[in-house]
Amino acid sequence: MPLNEEQLQQKRDERREQILSAALKVFARRGLIGAKMSMISEEAGISQGLMYRYFSSKDELFITLVERAIQGSIEGTRQIHQMPGSPLEKLTKLTELILDEEGQLYFLLMHQVRTSDEVPEKAKGLLEYASMDLYIDMLKPVFEEGQKNGELAEGDISELISCYFTVISGLMTLNIPKTQGFQLPRVELLMRIFTRSQ
């Protein structure tokens, strides 16, 4: 029996997600310059011709992933306000989400956008939507509450939040080559940097 329009759309959406997932892995490993559409289609398990029905170029695919990374990062950070628990528990959960495998792949993609001269200007332009000030504003209430209840370290909140993201970024950058002997620290250990000394 032939598929109806709704089933066909669902199939197209699934295929698109399959391509995006494969592209994320390839771009994270190889960078924009080192990645080829043939590598992405092979990772996705589909033909290049089929892939071009969904994305007209490697740049379009890359930009789509950057848009998704920024949107996911902002939405994920905003979720901290709906998470149950104390400010420290919320910050711990957010850190776990950032450091999970998919979070690492998106970090590597965004790291390329910030550091490479070879990425499309449109991708670089999207960074204005993900400024450090935005993340500071989103996390400020959590840090304020954590300082007030004695859980989180004292000090300038903007500086603490910037330090938090610097530590996360440094860990992710060290983890890029999957260096033998290096492992990301447990999140509980990492959170000790930001807790108030008793």
Per-residue pLDDT tens for 89-131?
999 999 998 888 888 888 888 888 988 888 999 999 998 888 8
Which secondary-structure segment (H or E) carries 96?
helix 87-99
Phi, psi of 172 (to 5 degrees): -65, -40
Residue ranges of alpha helices (H) inside 58-130 are 58-78, 87-99, 101-115, 121-125
Name the DSSP class of 80.
G
Q: Which residues contact 46 (CB under 8 A, 6 or more apart)?
A: 15, 18, 19
- Domain extents in the chain: 1-55, 63-191
Phi, psi of 52 (to 5 degrees): -70, -15
CA atoms within 13 A on the CB side of 147: 14
CA atoms within 13 A on the CB side of 122: 9
Q: What is the CATH number of domain 1-55?
A: 1.10.10.60
Question: How confident is the model at residue 198, as a pLDDT?
Answer: 63
Residue type, 27: F
**Chain segment 148-178, per-residue pLDDT in tens:** 999 999 999 999 999 999 998 888 877 665 5
**Token code pair at residue 96:** 């776990």
Question: How confident is the model at residue 6, as a pLDDT?
Answer: 84
Question: How confident is the model at residue 180, as a pLDDT?
Answer: 66
The residue length of the chain stands at 198
Question: How confident is the model at residue 105, as a pLDDT?
Answer: 87
Query: Residue 160 in contact with residue 140, Cβ under 8 Å?
Result: no
**Token code pair at residue 41:** 């289609």
Let me know if domain 63-191 sits in CATH 1.10.357: yes
User: The dihedral of CA 93, 98, 104, 106: what is its sign?
Assistant: positive
- How far is C-alpha 186 from the chain's CA centre? 19
Q: State how far the Cα of 81 lies from the Cα of 61, in Å rounded to an integer.
A: 32
- How far is C-alpha 112 from the chain's CA centre? 12
Q: State how far the Cα of 60 lies from the Cα of 68, in Å rounded to an integer.
A: 12
Instruction: Reduce the DSSP state of residue 186 to 3 states and report it.
Output: coil
Res 181 pLDDT > 90: no
